[in-house]
Structure formats: C-alpha cells, structure tokens
Amino acid sequence: MKLVRFGDAGAEKPGLIDADGEIRDLSGVIADIAGEHLHPDALTALSRTDPQSLPLVSGKPRIGPCVAGTGKFICIGLNYADHAAESGMEVPSEPVIFMKASSAIAGPDDDVLIPRGSEKTDWEVELGVVIGKPAKYVAEADAMDHVAGYCVTHDVSERAFQAERQGQWTKGKSCDTFGPVGPWLVTRDEIADPQNLGMWLKVNGETMQDGSTRTMVYGVAHLVAYLSQFMSLLPGDIISTGTPPGVGMGMKPPRYLRDGDVVELGIEGLGSQRQTFHADG
C-alpha cells in the first residue's frame, strides 16, 4: 500500500493511493497513520480494504507528512562512502547517529524556511524507514519485522550551524521545516529490496544527486538492529538513512540554497517531493 496524509497542516486525514493514483479517504477506517495502525498486523488487515469502497478525495489537497506521532527522527551520517569522501571524512567504523527535532517535520511539498543568519543551507535526499513495531535489542535477522515501510526524507541542513559552531550536528539539522517527509508511506511488502533503489535530487531543474541505496555503508536491517541496542524504537519513529554524493557542501566551490530556489527529489517507488525555499524573516 501507499499510505498518505492529506489536508491542512495539523488537521491531516489518512488516505491511501488507489491503482489510478487517486487519494481515497481512510478516516472512516483508521484515525491516522500513526501508533498501533503502523503495526505489521494492522497494516496487513488494512490491506484487505477495497480502495473502491472508500470515498474518493476530490481536487488537489495539500499532502502532509506521511506518518503522524513521530517521537524520534533519527538520522545516520556519512552512510554512503562516496558522500563521506566528498565531505572530507572517513567512512565511520560504526553508524554515526544524530537527531533531527520532530518539530522540523513538514509535508513533502511545503515551503522550506531558510533560517535567520543562514548562509549554508544544503540539500540531502535520503531513504526514510518508519518503525511499525517496538524494537529493543533486536537481532539484525529480525530487524525488518519491526519496519512498517519506507518514505522519501529530505535532510535539509545548515552547514555553518552544523559544523562551524560549538556542539553537535543537531542544531544544523533541526530548523523548522528542515524535515520534509513523504509523499507516501510505502509498506514494506511493496519494496522488494530497500538496498536497490535509485534516488535523485535537482535544484532549479539541475541534477545534483543521482545515486542508489546500493552504495549505503550500513543497510536498513543493520541500522534498525544497531539503533535498538541504544534506544527503544517506537511506532512512528523515522530513521533517515544518509545521503549519496552531490550535496552543496561537497562542490568546488560549495553551493548553497537561496531564497526562491526550488528543490525536487525522489526515490524509486516512493514518490517525489518539491519545495520552494524562502528566507525566514
């Protein structure tokens, strides 16, 4: 299934994408795409719903983040060897973990705000993994049983905040709107191999990133198992698994986003996003 949340920010309804690419309203079946409804058993039950029995959503509503109730937005740094190289850093011997504030979450086509004082706002297309069943101390062989599905995430980053000021990376990653998620939550059964998905990103129509999840250093199953050794993963948590090369920071000279720039990005089978960047105040 391709699950979607549509409507005004803060008042989204759950839906699914039917065979014709239309949105069907799921609000009479489930309250939201969140919590217990993300459990694999619940998703299996939901998959038995006939899309034709659901109300057709007319028009072109705003698409919201594809999952609600996200407690943790966990990111993995330097998880593509070629991206680590362009960043001038070594491939890590263990996954690099940092957090993105859940308040950064935005819809896939919402405007992104360039924060006050920013001079180095950058782009990163990433595969997002949504947790469906609680995970604690899970083995890698069992890790995928805890995954509800996948989505596109955009790990927008302010490099000066991230790397040139004191402290950890979080403040360069957590500005409002810096975490577009969606358009869809694609359930795990629809993606045969999350380690073989093409991914791309364009700025003002120019291709900047053109990669594949094949070149991940640490794959999805490893990351779920690894993270579960340090914290409980809960339904609705999102793991953003790293980006391929082609970010602005790695260019010579570096290139960063400015007011009015348009970024488009997508991942094979998971849909695409489009954001216009605007100066925040």
Q: What does the chain look like in DSSP terms, one character per residue?
A: -EEEEESSTT--EEEEE-TTS-EEE-TTT-S-SSGGGGSHHHHHHHTTS-GGGSPBPPS-PPB--SS-----EEEEES-BHHHHHHTT-PPPSS-EEEEE-GGGEE-TTS-EEEPTT-S-EE--EEEEEEE-S-BSS--GGGGGGGEEEEEEEE--EEHHHHHSSSS-GGGGT-STT-EEB-S-EEEGGG-S-TTS-EEEEEETTEEEEEEEGGGBSS-HHHHHHHHHTTS-B-TT-EEE----S--GGGSSS-----TT-EEEEEETTTEEEEEEEEE--
- Answer yes or no: are the C-beta atoms of 124 and 156 closer than 8 Å: yes
- Answer yes or no: are the C-beta atoms of 63 and 107 closer than 8 Å: yes
Domains and CATH numbers, the chain: 2-53 (no CATH), 73-279 (3.90.850.10)
Predicted structure pTM score: 0.96
pLDDT in tens, 63-99: 999 999 999 999 999 898 877 777 677 788 999 999 9
Residue 89 token pair: 């850093």
Q: What is the pLDDT of residue 116?
A: 95
Q: What is the pLDDT of residue 168?
A: 79
Q: What is the pLDDT of residue 166?
A: 76
Q: What is the pLDDT of residue 162?
A: 84
Q: What is the pLDDT of residue 81?
A: 80
Q: What is the pLDDT of residue 86?
A: 73
pLDDT tens, N- to C-terminus, the chain (281 residues): 999 999 999 999 999 999 999 999 999 999 999 999 999 999 999 999 999 999 999 999 999 999 999 999 999 998 988 777 776 777 889 999 999 999 999 999 999 999 999 999 999 999 999 999 999 999 999 999 999 999 999 999 999 888 777 777 888 999 999 999 999 999 999 999 999 999 999 999 999 999 999 999 999 999 999 999 999 999 999 999 999 999 999 999 999 999 999 999 999 999 999 999 999 97
Of 271, 238, 264, 274, which Cα lies nearest the Cα of 108? Answer: 274
**What's CA 55's distance to the chain center, in Å?**
28
Cis (ω within 30 of 0) for the bond into 253? Answer: yes
Distance CA 227, CA 238 (A): 12
